[in-house]
Chains A and B, each alone.
Chain A
């Protein structure tokens, strides 16, 4: 039984700055619902006292010394940019946030 409503998908699409058609919203809701249902079966295998696993490897404190390593040149950094100016990435202005 899908827990993902059409409204959920619409909300997520808005957060991700994606415009989806009506048809896509319906399709995504049903597809995401199937995924959520599938993942849900995992929760049936564990009881409430098992903490959620965020890191499968038993590693902690993998830290790096504060020593400068390599960097890109501005040309390298911008190599794959669709647009650039003055050594900087040029992006469309995005309103409503600052």
Chain B
């Protein structure tokens, strides 16, 4: 309304909740992992040289005829079914007109009055396991736009003189999922926002219809936020924060917009219906364009694409291909593996469910599978800036390593070295252990000598242990390891020390 109120100080999150109830809404765009684009046979690929994955259809040259990708249509139907939606018996594409260089046709082919899927829901699990049902308004098919790089000092559009356009992404199949207004989340609204996007990501990954890598923009979220006075039922004016593209950012953006709205409203101002830009660095939003003229997209049915008509046989055939819903699968695995809630949440957050399941299915214990994937494999992957799965560690390797430890042929520390050598291409773990002579020093003579030396050099520690402070043994293990080049078994060292001091272990 006025400049003064627009700059009102945001309230704290607690203050916000004392006076207001939030209403949320999300538009999530999912890029499909089809081989080709939505309406052309050019490749759908990430990271190639600019303007090499394009043909005449993607560039909108005169006289071209788009044809819809069957796999993309089926992906949309499968996602619709997984979201418990009604699949349209008849639907058509529409042109959404706007003039901006990211689309060479001056329109985006989308769906308007006849989306392929509508009226569904998804159960979203919050951090403590509480389930919140989010109603889905619709899911429709459309195409992605090209990528603009603004030239200028800041890299942002403000102050740029020209932009460079790469149309490789133009025409990549998208499904846009739109929720109904989400009421009643209260203080858990930001958490729900994150959990919702996470649930959608897990779902499209389970369906294998998208790579679902948020850092590559495979899943992008626009977050709508409005506030209404506590107990009211009439929604307030909403803002739409665009392109909030990480789980954490979605949570922060919702928090910030709630606080900002509350600040403006409490100061007697009113919220302008507009799009907002999210700034990761400051965790704030700034005003984009007002929602008015620019949203006059003058949709009309796309005359170059014929309608899609579904029948029961087609839908049932696709329904039969649906995976176990991710939430159900998580419940099943958590029970089967016996992890604590925290351990299981960490595994899910690390995106390692598939790897651990495969490893357990191959015969590893759930504890060993978790230890290796969450521990050393993740660490090595992180060091190499790779996804853990990309290291190429097979379940058989983990089982072999774990076996070597259980047979006490190597200790944990050596096992980690062996894994690293394996990742670097030195072959199977047993081979590495034998080639490099890494087996634990188990002949008591050498080990006992090393322990005796360590005890002689650390009389104070020995005194403590003798006095009953058994934890102090740890201080002797280090020197023994050093003496044996890390090949001693810590348990064995402990046994020898205790035996020497005549203490019952």
Contacts and interface: CB of A to CB of B under 8 A. Distances in A.
Interface string A51-89: 000110101111111111111111001100000011111
B163 A90 contact: yes
Given A68-B36, A74-B50, 18 more contacts: A15-B296, A62-B68, A62-B305, A63-B67, A67-B41, A68-B42, A69-B42, A70-B55, A71-B53, A72-B52, A73-B52, A87-B49, A90-B163, A91-B162, A94-B101, A96-B289, A98-B157, A98-B277
Interface in B69-102: 69-73, 90, 92, 97-101
Q: Which among A65, A67, A72 has the greatest number of chain B C-beta atoms within 10 A?
A: A72
A62 B296 CA distance: 30
Nearest to A15: B296
16 contacts: A15-B98, A15-B296, A54-B300, A54-B301, A63-B70, A65-B70, A68-B35, A72-B54, A74-B50, A77-B51, A89-B164, A89-B165, A91-B163, A91-B165, A92-B163, A97-B294
Interface in A1-41: 11, 14-17
Give the 6 A-B CB pairs with smallest separation, nearest first: A69-B41, A54-B301, A66-B71, A63-B70, A88-B164, A89-B165
Contacts of B43: 68, 71
B149 interface: yes
B401 to A, nearest CB: 40
Nearest to B68: A63
> What DSSP secondary structure best describes chain A's contact surface?
loop
Given A89-B101, A96-B289, A72 B51 contact: yes
A45 interface: no
Contacts, number: 150
A93 B160 contact: yes
Interface of A: 11, 14-17, 54-55, 57, 59-74, 77-78, 85-98
Interface string B435-455: 000000000000000000000
A90 B162 contact: yes
> How many of chain B's residues touch chain A, expressed as a range?
35 or more
Given A15-B293, A55-B301, A88-B164, A66 B42 contact: no
B100 A15 contact: no
A85 B101 CA distance: 15
A16 B36 CA distance: 30
Interface in B11-50: 34-36, 40-43, 49-50
Given A55-B307, A61-B308, A72 B165 contact: no
A93 B68 contact: no
B323 to A, nearest CB: 20
> What DSSP secondary structure best describes chain B's contact surface?
loop
A59 B9 CA distance: 58
A64 B41 contact: yes
Contacts of B293: 11, 14-15
A61 B51 contact: no
Q: Which among A16, A62, A85, A98 has the greatest number of chain B C-beta atoms within 10 A?
A: A98
Contact of B42 (A60, A62, A71, A89): A71
Contacts of A67: 35-36, 41
A85 B97 CA distance: 27
A94 B101 CA distance: 8
B297 to A, nearest CB: 9
A60 B36 contact: no
Contacts of A78: 51
Q: Which among A55, A69, A71, A92 has the greatest number of chain B C-beta atoms within 10 A?
A: A71
Contacts of B69: 63-64, 66
A96 B49 CA distance: 29
A60 B307 contact: yes
B166 A17 contact: no
B421 interface: no
A72 B163 contact: no
B386 interface: no
A86 B162 CA distance: 13
A91 B101 contact: yes
Nearest to B173: A66
Given A15-B293, A88-B50, A70 B99 contact: no
A57 B301 CA distance: 14
Contacts of A71: 42-43, 52-55
